[in-house]
């Protein structure tokens, strides 16, 4: 992997870590609206990988994959931030869905059905499903939601996709949140439990999940978004 001068062999590293770029892009695309193209994220991620190869120094005591992941993710986020990919309207719709879920859970003492959430929002079921597809499932846990210090004016990307410690995998390392999340997932409808398990535990993307469950990717996207709204509503209670 290293040249005679002790530096990383760029071509070998690019070949070896291209799958890492693709994996990070597929995970990120699940949190974004349909207007964002996976190929664009991969292209930007490759630029981040190239930069990581040129800047990596083994003496820093960090594994290359960890270092590269941060650079790749950072390049993708910078590109998304410049594109201002999520409008205030989409953010409001996301919060409206979560509010409706919370209201119904308090009223029904169970997970509300899709049709019930649509009715609470004053929408036809098909319109609600289209809204879920537009909003798309965003990050599972926002740390400021849990601490109670959220600010609606903060950048959505900074709050949801910026720092590594704001990612689901890092949050799950906290025992209290892990316990709360496990309990919340068990309260999801069975189909949504399956989707969340495949996505977060088995590292599958939405297209792969759709193939397993025999439905369209857009339908998985809708159910994933709805699951996120349910979980975020539950997790705020802890």
CB of 138 closer than 8 Å to CB of 232:
no
Tracing tokens 């439905």 back to the chain, one arrives at: 215
Asked if residues 232 and 222 have their Cβ atoms less than 8 Å apart, the reply is no
Helix axes 206-213, 217-235, angle to 10 degrees: 110
User: How does pLDDT run across 167-205, given as a tens digit for each residue?
Assistant: 444 444 455 666 777 788 888 999 999 988 887 777 788
For residues 76-111, b (16+ Cβ closer than 10 Å) or e, as one string? bbebbeeeeebeeebeebbebbbebbbebbeeeeeb
- Non-local (6+) Cβ contacts of 14 within 8 A are 46, 49, 50, 53
pLDDT in the model for residue 8: 54
Structure confidence at residue 36 as a pLDDT band (50, 70, 90): confident
What integer pLDDT is reported at residue 210 of this predicted model?
Answer: 93
Mean pLDDT confidence for 125-149 = 63
Average pLDDT (153-162) is: 43
Q: Where are the alpha helices (DSSP H) in 1-87?
A: 10-29, 38-55, 64-83
Q: How many CA atoms lie within 13 A of 227 on its CB side?
A: 28
Report the alpha-carbon distance of residue 147 to residue 176 in Å, rounded: 13
Q: Pick the residue with more confidence: 44 or 119? A: 119
């Amino acid at each position: 992997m290293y040249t005679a001068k002790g530096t990383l062999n760029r071509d070998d590293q690019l070949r070896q870590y291209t799958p890492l770029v693709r994996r990070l892009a597929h995970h990120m695309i699940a949190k974004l609206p349909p207007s964002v193209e996976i190929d664009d994220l991969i292209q930007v991620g490759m630029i981040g990988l190239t930069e990581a190869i040129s800047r990596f120094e083994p003496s820093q005591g960090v594994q290359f994959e960890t270092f590269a992941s941060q650079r790749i993710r950072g390049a993708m986020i910078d590109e998304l931030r410049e594109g201002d990919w999520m409008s205030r309207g989409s953010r409001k719709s996301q919060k409206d869905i979560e509010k409706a879920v919370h209201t119904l859970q308090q009223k029904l003492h169970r997970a509300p059905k899709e049709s019930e959430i649509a009715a609470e929002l004053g929408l036809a079921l098909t319109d609600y499903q289209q809204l879920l597809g537009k909003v798309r499932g965003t990050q599972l846990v926002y740390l400021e939601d849990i601490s109670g210090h959220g600010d609606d004016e903060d950048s959505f990307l900074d709050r949801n996709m910026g720092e590594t410690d704001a990612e689901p995998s890092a949050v799950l390392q906290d025992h209290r949140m892990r316990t709360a999340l496990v309990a919340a997932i068990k309260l999801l409808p069975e189909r949504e439990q399956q989707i969340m398990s495949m996505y977060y535990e088995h590292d599958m993307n939405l297209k792969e999940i759709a193939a397993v469950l025999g439905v369209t990717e857009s339908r998985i996207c809708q159910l994933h978004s709805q699951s996120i709204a349910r979980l975020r509503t539950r997790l705020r209670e802890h």
